[in-house]
Structure 1
Amino acid sequence: MKVQALQGDTVDLLCWRHYGRTQGIVEQVLQVNPNLVEGGIQLAAGQWVELPDIAPAAQQEMIQLWD
């Protein structure tokens, strides 16, 4: 999937916005888009970024002490 960066976006912000997490994902995005590191920390407004298909994180079951 391709997403377009907004002004001031970073790779980790795009990952957080799309996947809801960044751990282990930023590295995968940078592998798919090796040219992203050339432009600095912030992406250019309108820059297209390829996001790999990643399985959703496993949900931890919440235990309620009182119902």
Structure 2
Amino acid sequence: MRKVLKEKIIEVCDKKIASKGENVGLSFYAFFANKNDNPELLMEAAEWWIMTHKLDHFEKAAKIKELVQNL
């Protein structure tokens, strides 16, 4: 996983947890704007989420942050 994606995931997870609490869920779309301005990075996140880890559509932000930090 690219460093820029890893940093973005951790940043978004931290913000979601801070604003909504430890049990907040999110999907990999949470790491991107509502436009397709970086399709390669979006596909990298999708592959990591769906193919590599076989995660559900929504997962706890704390779980995602931990997975990314352990890369």
TM over 0.5: no
TM-score bracket for the superposition, by shorter chain length: 0.3 to 0.5
Q: TM-score, normalised by structure 1?
A: 0.41
Q: TM-score, normalised by structure 2?
A: 0.39
